[in-house]
Amino acid sequence: MDRGDGNVKYILTGDGVGSLFLIDENSGDIHATKRLDREERAIYTLHAKVVDKRTNETLEADTEFNIKIHDINDNEPKFSKDLYFASVPEMSDVGTSVIQVTATDADDQTYGNSAKLVYSILQGQPYFSVDSDNGTIRTALPNMDRETKENYQVVIQAKDMAGQMGGLSGTTTVSITLSDENDSPPRFANHTFRLSTLESAEVGAAIGRIKANDADVGRNAEMHYSIVDRNGQDMFTIISDQNTQEGVIRVKKQLDYEKQRTYSFKVEVTNTYLDPRFMYSPNPPFKDDAMVRVTIEDVDEPPVFSRNPYIIEVHEDTAAGSFVGVVSARDPDADNNPVKYSIDRHTDLERLFNIDSVNGTITTLKGLDREMSKWHNISVVATEISNPRQTTRVPVFIRVLDVNDNAPEFAMYYETFVCENVQSGQLIQTISAVDTDEPLVGHKFVFSISSSNPNFTIVDNEDNTARILTRRAGFSRREMNTYLLPVVISDNDYPIQSSTSTLTVNVCACDSRGNMQSCNTEALLSAGLSTGALVAILLCVIILLMIVVLFAALRRQQRKKEPLIISKEDVRDNVVSYNDEGGGEEDTQAFDIGTLRNPEVMDANKLRRDIIPEMLFPFQRTSPIKDNTDVREFIHGRLHENDSDPTAPPYDSLATYAYEGSGSLAESLSSLESGCVEGDQEYDYLSNWGPPFKKLADMYIGKDMVRET
């Protein structure tokens, strides 16, 4: 009907028309408007009809047809979980099924191999294998022992296209744990146990514990103890502690020190639950025995500690004076005398710990550092107060727990060089770090440098090492012969500690294969500078030295000309005030200075002007002291005259004598004419001048000591 004259119009209806499919109304060609995804919809149902454009008459009735999307391999296999957990009994036979893991592929399973999966094991060999068709994991080795290794990480891969090259793949991890079986017998670490008890121990009292070791866990490690000798069965009994799996020996009958002082008997240990598969294995029988020796002690005994030894844990950042633990001792005698505690200082030479003598509380005297010492073993002595000869010592093992208080640093000193002809991105050094701390999860260091460094870069290897690479090509010793590269190293513990270590990189001359030939910069310098340049540099250095020497000489000269008194603490600035007001200018007439210098010419009729006596008596003076050789005698004489003068007022009066004297053995104390500055003076000789100069000596000698401090 379509003659090609353009009178026919094709119309399309159905799923996705307009959004996914369009039809050319003139030619009837159907086009897709965007990419189709079979995994979203595989079949589209459409309807088409033909009409006349002029009359709109239907030329052909509505016709239905389907568009089917063919599949391509565009989806990788996916497991339902990223991590699976499974367990298998230890010592299982080869081929024992552990777990089945399956993956799904969204591609069409009926079309080609796009969804045909093949399973393989990437990690976990040779312990396990996987079925390539259904993903079942099985054991691949016999006699896998949980006590040797308990956990395994197995990585399984699922690949489509039947495992052919070019197929897509997905992986998952399976954590497999070996469950315990009773394949390990109990064993005593020591086959001889020594116990002691007082003869006053009550019937049923525990006198000691013995323990055997079993590598199994849970109910497979439960043990039963029994006494097999009749000698021990009569006096003692043993029970099994279900919590600690120890054998507790108790008194069965009353003990008597005077009748028997020691007992020896055999103890046997077996598993409570036995596995018949391992009872007749080549291993030794599933039981063990040990000898127990019990010593009976007299009742007159020193104090007994509640535990022996003590194991106490304390963090290293514990401050001084903090609580560490408590030890307890008692007097086993009937009197139960009080006990005092002390630390044997021979076992604590650094005096790190203290103990309360009354209650046995142990505290720290100083801060603890685990990096200096992880364990501190001290001895605590308990002494009866009423009988100091009765003492008991107990070892106290103090374990210092780690705190992340140290930053990582380079593991060693690195001598790093870079060739002048190096290429960009070339490895020049591999570095590693160490940390004195011991985190529970192990060390994990992170290395980094400044991103703005134009010369070098760092690549963290994620294994506590890092690589130093060049960021550019070509280095020149003439421009710079040494580069300092700060590397920041951080740990992963809490709180995070980091440090910056500097890596020194020398620029060296190398051959074409990168072997270092020379890093000597002196030869390069001498070769690059002419003789005239070296002479000019030398002259400049000499001129600078002369300027420095001249400046120092001028400073020393100015220092000599500075005033002597430059310190506020100078003794001459210490003015002592007595709050005595003078009489003004007339006060100079209270005493004539000439009198001291020539007592013979003193006016005998001159009256004192500082007071006005009620009655005037003739002024009386004794004859002046001859020779005027000692001013001290003159002053004492005048003092005696005033004391005995009846005309003197009955209250105090102050007379000032301004006479220096004829000289002193101490000579002048002034430093005005001294050739040295105040800091060069030594005043130790003042202490040899006697009591009159004691105050002066204390002031000057004390000031020198403060200056030295």
pLDDT in tens, 116-141: 899 999 998 899 999 988 999 999 99
- Name the token pair of 34: 């965007």
As a whole number of angstroms, the distance between CA 89 and CA 180 comes to: 6
Helix extents (H) in 209-300: 230-235, 276-279
The arithmetic mean of pLDDT across residues 232-249, rounded, is 91
Identify any residues that bridge with 86 across adjacent strands, giving them in sequence order.
176
CATH class name, domain 78-179: mainly beta
DSSP state of 112: T
- Name the token pair of 265: 């008997």
Domain 304-401: CATH superfamily, name plus number: Cadherins (2.60.40.60)
The arithmetic mean of pLDDT across residues 278-300, rounded, is 77
As a whole number of angstroms, the distance between CA 185 and CA 278 comes to: 9
Under 8 Å between Cβ of 377 and 400: no
CA angle 417/423/427 to nearest 5° reads 50
The arithmetic mean of pLDDT across residues 357-364, rounded, is 91
Give CATH for domain 8-68.
2.60.40.60
Domain 187-297: CATH superfamily, name plus number: Cadherins (2.60.40.60)
- Name the token pair of 423: 């290429």
Higher pLDDT, 372 or 140: 140
Amino acid at 635: I
pLDDT over 50 at 394, yes or no: yes
Task: Return the closest-CA partner of residue 410 out of 512, 488, 333.
Answer: 488
As annotated, the residues of the chain forming the CATH 2.60.40.60 domain(s) are 8-68, 78-179, 187-297, 304-401, 409-518
Count the Cβ atoms, other than its own, within 10 Å of residue 249. Answer: 26
As a whole number of angstroms, the distance between CA 520 and CA 85 comes to: 62
Cα 47 from chain centre: 77
pLDDT over 60 at 212, yes or no: yes
Highest mean pLDDT, choosing among 1-15, 200-214, 514-528: 200-214
Query: What is the residue-averaged pLDDT of the chain?
Result: 80
pLDDT over 70 at 413, yes or no: yes
Count the Cβ atoms, other than its own, within 10 Å of residue 227. Answer: 21
- Name the token pair of 267: 């103890």
pLDDT over 60 at 577, yes or no: no
Q: Which helix (H) or strand (E) holds 398?
A: strand 391-401
Tell me, what's the pLDDT at 523? 47
Amino acid at 655: A
User: What's the N-to-C CA distance of the chain in angstroms?
Assistant: 121
Tell me, what's the pLDDT at 280? 59
Tell me, what's the pLDDT at 527? 46
Give CATH for domain 409-518.
2.60.40.60
- Name the token pair of 468: 């130093």
pLDDT over 90 at 251, yes or no: yes
